[in-house]
Copies of this chain bind each other. A is one copy, B any other.
Amino acid sequence: MASGPGQSRDRATIIDVAAAAGVSRQTVSNALNNPDRVAPGTLMRVHREIERLGFSPNAAAQQLRRRKASAYGFEVNPSGAGKMGHILDGFLVELTVAAPDHSCHLVTFAPNLSRLLDGYDRILSTGLVDGFVLGDTRHDDPRPAWLLANEVPFVTFGRIWDNPEMGRWVDVDGRAGMEVAVEHLVAQGYTAIAYLGWPDGSPVGDDRRRGWLSGLADAGLADTAIAEEAVQDLTVATAAAERLLDRLPSGGAILCASDLLALGALRAVRNHGLEPGRDVGVVGFDDSDVAEALQLTSLRQPLQDAAAEAWRIVHAKGTDLSLTALLAPTLTVRASTTPTPQSPNESPTQSPNQSPVHPPRRPPLGRTAYPSLEEQQ
């Protein structure tokens, strides 16, 4: 217990480096922040000492002097974590991965449920963060307006449908994704493409439905348009899919607004004694773990790109409301839209800019720790 816990081990400061390199502290600071102001020889000497002493500038001192935390808040919500297609977990990861490129970091916080903005105000007023990434948007969401009024930098993941004027969002183009899915289904030889979606009135659902319709029109299949509605519940979805199958001609496919609805469709198909893919195509949305497990073709949100765009927007100076990014999802093709049996390898159309560290087929389990343990033993 030489030095006790905490950051007590006395780390080298900028002054130690300065003394070692025989310059003043400001020159060391300049060597790091404004290298062009420092003579080449000096620069080299300083950097050698920085290396030798293992110096890293103290974040708190920088924050204090610069009056800027270089940190952004990310609200995590207990109600959705780990749930099927809870895309936010992945978004948070990609934001974290990309954060060092913008020399900043993320601080998680939980919302104050009774007074929503309080949580934001508290973490902001301590100067712990400079702004926020809003991982979701609610109906009548008070946050964007509040943040704008207080000139707090932010970006939202998901369009602010309530108010089209409100920029500063990143979103995935569900409509374009659906069009790609229709195109794929047609190319695979399916001759009629039905739609299993959510009831009218949800902006995202309506957007996806429009994509289906325009995809059909582009393919000259507008006359095959039949659809059913279901809320996000497996039993309801299965029943709706059953009704759809009764009307769907042979050689048809079902395009679904979510992986859960697609799961219902898969069940209905099997209940009819049919084989997904061979007899009826099924496509889901979000490329969740379930989609992978059940060999369900699904649209994958380009989270890595979304994270990069989010950083770009949140860092933009001023309160420019025209900063938006609409990204196209990519289709992960699996057996559920492959009429002829094929080896179940990875999708050929998978996003090329996927994280390179993503192993091709790492079976996840109860806890990530253990698959790797098994595999290594």
Residues of B within 8 A of A157 (CB): 367
A201-B374, A293-B263, A373-B204 given as contacts; is B79 within 8 A of A126 (CB)? no
Quick one: which of A84, A359, A376 has the most chain B CB within 10 A?
A84
Asked if B5 and A153 sit within 8 Å, CB to CB, the answer is yes
A7-B127, A365-B260 given as contacts; is B151 within 8 A of A289 (CB)? no
Asked if A153 and B6 sit within 8 Å, CB to CB, the answer is yes
Binary CB contact string for chain A from 134 to 167 against chain B (1 if under 8 A, 0 otherwise): 0111111000000000111100011001000000
Binary CB contact string for chain A from 68 to 109 against chain B (1 if under 8 A, 0 otherwise): 110100101111111111111110111011011000011111
Total count of chain A residues near the partner, CB < 8 A:
124
Residues of B within 8 A of A317 (CB): 4-5
Asked if A86 and B79 sit within 8 Å, CB to CB, the answer is no
- Assembled-state Cα–Cα distance A99/B263 (Å): 37
Asked if A6 and B79 sit within 8 Å, CB to CB, the answer is no
A94-B78, A110-B97 given as contacts; is B126 within 8 A of A59 (CB)? yes
Q: Is A285 an interface residue (CB 8 A)?
A: yes
Q: Is A231 an interface residue (CB 8 A)?
A: yes
Q: Is A61 an interface residue (CB 8 A)?
A: yes
Asked if A199 and B83 sit within 8 Å, CB to CB, the answer is no
Residues of B within 8 A of A288 (CB): 82
Which of these, B74, B124, B365, contacts A7 with CB under 8 Å?
Answer: B124
Residues of B within 8 A of A63 (CB): 59-60, 63
A83-B364, A108-B106 given as contacts; is B234 within 8 A of A125 (CB)? no
Copies in the complex: 2
- Assembled-state Cα–Cα distance A90/B64 (Å): 33
- Assembled-state Cα–Cα distance A301/B366 (Å): 10
Looking at A50-58, A187-195, A246-254, the stretch in contact with chain B turns out to be: A50-58
Q: Is A202 an interface residue (CB 8 A)?
A: yes
Q: Is A9 an interface residue (CB 8 A)?
A: yes
Asked if A60 and B6 sit within 8 Å, CB to CB, the answer is no
Which of these, B7, B97, B135, contacts A78 with CB under 8 Å?
Answer: B97
Which of these, B8, B124, B231, B376, contacts A363 with CB under 8 Å?
Answer: B231
- Assembled-state Cα–Cα distance A318/B61 (Å): 26
Residues of B within 8 A of A219 (CB): none
Q: Is the interface of A mostly helix, strand, loop or mixed?
A: loop
Which of these, B127, B150, B202, B260, contacts A373 with CB under 8 Å?
Answer: B202
Which of these, B67, B198, B366, B368, contacts A77 with CB under 8 Å?
Answer: B368
Asked if B232 and A363 sit within 8 Å, CB to CB, the answer is yes
Residues of B within 8 A of A355 (CB): 78-79
Q: Is A369 an interface residue (CB 8 A)?
A: yes
Which of these, B61, B83, B258, B369, contacts A64 with CB under 8 Å?
Answer: B61
Asked if A69 and B7 sit within 8 Å, CB to CB, the answer is yes
Q: Is A358 an interface residue (CB 8 A)?
A: yes
Which of these, B76, B128, B258, B319, contacts A93 with CB under 8 Å?
Answer: B76
- Tell me which residues from 322 to 350 in chain A have a Cβ below 8 Å from any Cβ of chain B: 344
Given contacts A5-B130, A64-B64, A81-B89, 16 further A-B contacts (CB under 8 A): A1-B318, A2-B151, A7-B127, A7-B130, A9-B151, A59-B63, A79-B357, A81-B90, A84-B289, A86-B364, A138-B372, A139-B372, A204-B370, A205-B374, A260-B365, A301-B366
19 A-B contacts (beta carbon < 8 Å):
A4-B151, A6-B68, A6-B130, A54-B125, A56-B122, A59-B69, A59-B127, A81-B90, A82-B90, A84-B290, A86-B89, A99-B110, A105-B109, A158-B369, A201-B377, A204-B366, A234-B294, A290-B293, A301-B366
